[in-house]
Amino acid sequence: MKEVIRVARLDIEVRRSTRRKDVDLTVDRGGEVVISVPERMSQAAIDKVIREKLVWLYATLGRKEETKAQQPPKEFLSGEGFFYLGRKHRLQLCPPGEGATPEQPLVFANGRFLLHRDFVDQGKELFIQWYTREAKDWIQPKVGSLKLRVDASPSAVGIRDLGFRWGSCTRGGKVYFHWRTILLPPERIEYLVLHELVHLHEHNHSSAFYRRLERACPNHNRHEAWFRTHGDDYTL
């Protein structure tokens, strides 16, 4: 029976060998990820190696693009659901002058998204622009209210498309969040903010990082488990 571990939403086959002294992480032609390790290497040590290679793994697999391709594309028609702060809200196409205008073709009102029907072809772009603005307005104050818990203050906070990542932290002290972060439930956004603020102290996922994260967010394991299970559902 194969030994398989799950790390950051990836299923990885572990192949142990008494003759092996080093570690080899590969992606085979079928897209399966395999890590070959010495016979007695602990799971914690294997997990650490994989996490250090996550950027390479995701780039190689193109996993996020593949996931998006498998999901039915949005058509931006009345009745479709779009996430915002963890809840799905229906889209309604509007004729000119009824909630949406050429100057503001996408608005959110009374729990619904209203899209000017002449702008359906630009629906995805308009939603990304709207989510980006909302994420900036929501996340920047949240960073301000949570930074004392971590004793870390970023030099800047930005919203951008980060590919497969929810957030990132630079050596210069800037933190960035993916625009689709605003699709998530508020408690998950708060966790992501704390996670990136901790990275201002520890720039990797070392044991020191997790000790700081544990102090700032004692239930971080529950949040990470949620992201592994549900994170891919929150996309456009």
The domain in which residue 78 lies consists of 73-126
pLDDT tens-digit readout, 136-192: 999 999 999 999 999 999 999 999 988 767 988 887 899 999 999 999 999 999 999
CATH, residue 180: 3.30.2010.10
Counting the structural domains of the chain, the total is 3
DSSP string, 135-166: HHHHHHHHHHHHHHHHT---SEEEEE--TT-S
Q: Which residues lie below 8 Å from residue 149, measured CB to CB, with a gap of 6+?
A: 194, 197, 216
66 in a structural domain: no
21 in a structural domain: yes
On whether both 90 and 159 belong to a single domain, the answer is no
On whether both 110 and 149 belong to a single domain, the answer is no
On whether both 160 and 207 belong to a single domain, the answer is yes
Sheet architecture: strand order including 167-169: 156-160, 174-178, 167-169
On whether both 160 and 206 belong to a single domain, the answer is yes
On whether both 174 and 221 belong to a single domain, the answer is yes
Q: How far is CA 141 from CA 132, 137, 150, in A?
A: 15, 7, 15
pLDDT tens-digit readout, 34-85: 888 999 999 999 999 999 989 888 887 775 456 556 667 889 999 999 999 9
The C-alpha R_g of the chain, in whole angstroms, comes to: 21
153 in a structural domain: yes
On whether both 140 and 119 belong to a single domain, the answer is no
On whether both 143 and 197 belong to a single domain, the answer is yes
Q: How far is CA 226 from CA 60, 187, 219, in A?
A: 24, 11, 11
On whether both 177 and 223 belong to a single domain, the answer is yes
Cα 1-49-42 angle, rounded to 5 deg: 50
* Rounded Cα–Cα distance for residues 11 and 218 (Å): 26
Higher pLDDT, 204 or 125: 125
Higher pLDDT, 111 or 19: 111
Is 112's pLDDT higher than 90?
A: yes
The residue whose two tokens read 């993916």 is: 178
12 in a structural domain: yes
Six-digit token pair at 1?
Answer: 């029976």
On whether both 140 and 211 belong to a single domain, the answer is yes
Q: Which residue, of 87, 106, 126, is where some domain finishes?
A: 126
55 in a structural domain: yes
Q: What is the mean predicted confidence (pLDDT) over 12-33?
A: 79
211 in a structural domain: yes
On whether both 81 and 143 belong to a single domain, the answer is no
pLDDT at 131: 98
Amino acid at 179: W
68 in a structural domain: no
Band of pLDDT at residue 117, cut at 50, 70 and 90: very high
pLDDT at 88: 95
On whether both 13 and 53 belong to a single domain, the answer is yes
Q: Which residues lie below 8 Å from residue 148, measured CB to CB, with a gap of 6+?
A: none
142 in a structural domain: yes
pLDDT tens-digit readout, 200-232: 998 877 778 889 999 999 999 899 888 877 887
On whether both 139 and 229 belong to a single domain, the answer is yes
pTM, whole model, 2 decimals? 0.72
The mean predicted confidence, pLDDT, of the chain is 88
